[in-house]
Amino acid sequence: MRRRTFFFALLALVACRSQKGTSGDFAQFMVSEVRARGGTTLQVDTLPVIIGRWQVVRDEFGFQIHLFGVEFATVDSFMTRILGEPKILTQQNLDGEPQRMYDNAVSGMHIQLVGKRGEVYVG
């Protein structure tokens, strides 16, 4: 019984740790995340300061970012500045959310942007 309790406590601790978020300037973070994956961004004179809070999950296929406290339009404008015009742009996807898809022409990777309720998803 103690082993089982210990196992579930350890599992809960790991789950809580993986949900830890980061806060700061999302624009700087996003550019460095793309470049860390071997991607590129368009040259811009200055990046906007986008203060927010985010959680990131990385694996061998890329990253998923859940950004909180920032409006979709702000992130959309920023992403277009650093990645160019999205290949796919819809004001409402099947879930009623704004969605963009940036192809690999600029960054070398496909990046999706979705305005969800209470967050902006980048992945």
Instruction: Render pLDDT for 71-97 as a digit per residue (tens, 0 to 9).
Output: 999 999 999 999 999 999 999 999 999
Note whether 100 and 82 are within 8 A (CB).
no
The answer to whether residue 16 is domain-embedded is no
| Number of separate domains in the chain | 1
pLDDT of residue 71: 98
Q: Given this model, what pLDDT does residue 48 score?
A: 97
Whole-number mean pLDDT of the chain?
A: 88
Residue 8 lies in a domain: no
Would 7 be classed as within a structural domain?
Answer: no
Domain assignment present for 9: no
- 113, 105 contact by CB (below 8 A): no
Report if residue 91 sits inside a domain. yes
In the chain, at which residue ranges do the beta strands (DSSP E only) sit? 22-25, 51-59, 62-68, 88-90, 99-102, 111-116, 119-122
Q: Which residues contact 8 (CB under 8 A, 6 or more apart)?
A: none
**What domain range includes position 51?**
21-122
Evaluate whether residue 4 is within a structural domain. Answer: no
Q: Tell me whether residue 49 is in a domain.
A: yes
Band of pLDDT at residue 19, cut at 50, 70 and 90: low
pTM of the model: 0.81
Q: Is residue 1 part of a domain?
A: no
Q: Characterize 27-37 residue by residue with b for buried, 16 or more Cβ atoms within 10 angstroms of its Cβ, and e for exposed.
A: bebbbebbeee
51/28 Cα distance (integer angstroms)? 10
pLDDT digits (tens, 9 = 90+) for 36-51: 999 999 999 999 999 9
Residue 6 has pLDDT above 60, yes or no: no
